[in-house]
Amino acid sequence: MPKEHVLVVDDEEDILELVEYNLAKNGFNVKCVATGEDALEVARDQLPDLIVLDLMLPGVEGLEVCKRLKGDPKTQSIPIVMLTAKGEEPDIVAGLELGADDYVTKPFSPRVLVARVKAVLRRKKISVVDENAAVKLYDMIIDPGRHQVLVKGKPVELTFTEFCIVSLLARRPGWVFTRSQIIDASRGSDYIVTERAVDVQIVGLRKKLGDHGKYIETVRGVGYRFKE
């Protein structure tokens, strides 16, 4: 099989070398650039399979690069894994809401970064999801057609919003959804509700799912995901 191409964008030479070495060792073809402008040019010209994108870049910053790539029909399907300094929660949330697929905080483990890249690429291959198909995982069945959730064969009574949330998370295990993304998916982008209300819904959902509630994980400062 041909090697998958990864574009790495970072203005720190030592990080570029570290990431390039570890990705290449794991079988990827790697292209490195140091500016947002170069990232946009290379992404549009070469259409890599995935982009590892630093947020703090000279010139065009990482968030703007993400926004432009996700807003361009030619590049919007390219997965983006953000690299961000530890503790920059607003940047993480902003990046995810702009369409980034995952994030890794600095300082980072090269093994973790490679694992995240592989996971995102796996999800890309199965990203064409039948929204009406039942989801089966962890002894759970989530059936949109019947608007029903079964845990070990027993039905769980959920509200409309709770069902929308668990269906959204379970269809893409491992993906982190921000609170505003959850609001948009469950009620529509024009629905006025506080992010605190999402937390309340999650608490209620976990309680109703019993032991299976543990599979809905909190990503501190960002949102929620279903355990992969």
- Per residue in 88-103, pLDDT (tens digit) is 778 788 888 888 888 8
46 pLDDT more than 70: yes
Residues 33, 52 within the same domain = yes
Tell me what the pLDDT averaged over the chain comes to. 86
Residues of the chain with pLDDT > 90: what percent?
A: 45
pLDDT bracket for residue 208 (50, 70, 90)? very high
CB count in 10 Å sphere of residue 191: 10
Residue 139 domain boundaries:
135-226
Is there a contact between 172 and 165 (Cβ–Cβ < 8 Å)?
A: no
Q: Kindly report the pTM of this predicted structure.
A: 0.65
The pLDDT score that the predictor gives to residue 87 is 62
Residue 130 belongs to some domain of the structure: no
> What's the average model confidence in pLDDT over 111-126?
84
Please identify, among 78, 105, 125, the residue that sits at the C-terminal boundary of a domain: 125
Asked whether the predicted pLDDT for residue 68 surpasses 80, the reply is: yes
Alpha carbon distance 207, 194 (integer Å): 21
Say if residue 50's pLDDT is above 90.
yes
Domain end point (choices 104, 125, 146): 125
Is 66 in the same domain as 147? no
Which pLDDT score, from 0 to 100, does residue 14 have?
94
pLDDT value, residue 92: 81
Residue 62, pLDDT > 70, answer yes
Quote the pLDDT of residue 190.
Answer: 45
- pLDDT, position 29: 94
Domain boundary among 95, 125, 155: 125
If asked whether residues 121 and 143 sit together in one domain, one would say: no
Q: Which residues pair with 223 in a beta bridge?
A: 178, 219
The answer to whether residues 105 and 142 belong to one domain is no
Is pLDDT above 80 for 111? yes
The answer to whether residue 100 is domain-embedded is yes
Which CATH number characterizes residue 207's domain? 1.10.10.10
**Would residue 140 count as lying in a domain?**
yes
Based on the fold, state whether residues 146 and 194 are members of the same structural domain. Answer: yes
Residue 131 predicted with pLDDT over 70: no
Buried-state track 28-50, b at ≥16 Cβ within 10 A, e below 16 = bebbbbbbbebbbebbeeeebbb
pLDDT tens column, 71-82: 888 898 899 999
Query: Could you tell me if 25 and 115 lie in one domain?
Result: yes
CA 125 to CA 1: how far, in whole Å?
14
pLDDT (0 to 100) of residue 184 = 76
Which 3-state string (H, E, C) describes the chain? CCCCEEEEECCCHHHHHHHHHHHHHCCCEEEEECCHHHHHHHHHHHCCCEEEEECCCCCCCHHHHHHHHHCCCCCCCCCEEEEEECCCHHHHHHHHHHCCCEEEEECCCHHHHHHHHHHHHHHHHCCCCCCCCCEEECCEEEECCCCEEEECCEEECCCHHHHHHHHHHHHCCCCCEEHHHHHHHHHCCCCCCCHHHHHHHHHHHHHHHHHHHHHEEEECCCEEEECC
Q: What is the tally of structural domains in the chain?
A: 2
Confirm whether 33 is domain-assigned. yes
Residues 6+ positions from 89 with CB-CB distance below 8 Å: 220, 221, 222
Give the pLDDT of residue 145.
Answer: 78
Q: Quick one: 15 and 72 in the same domain?
A: yes
- Residues 112, 150, single domain; the answer is no
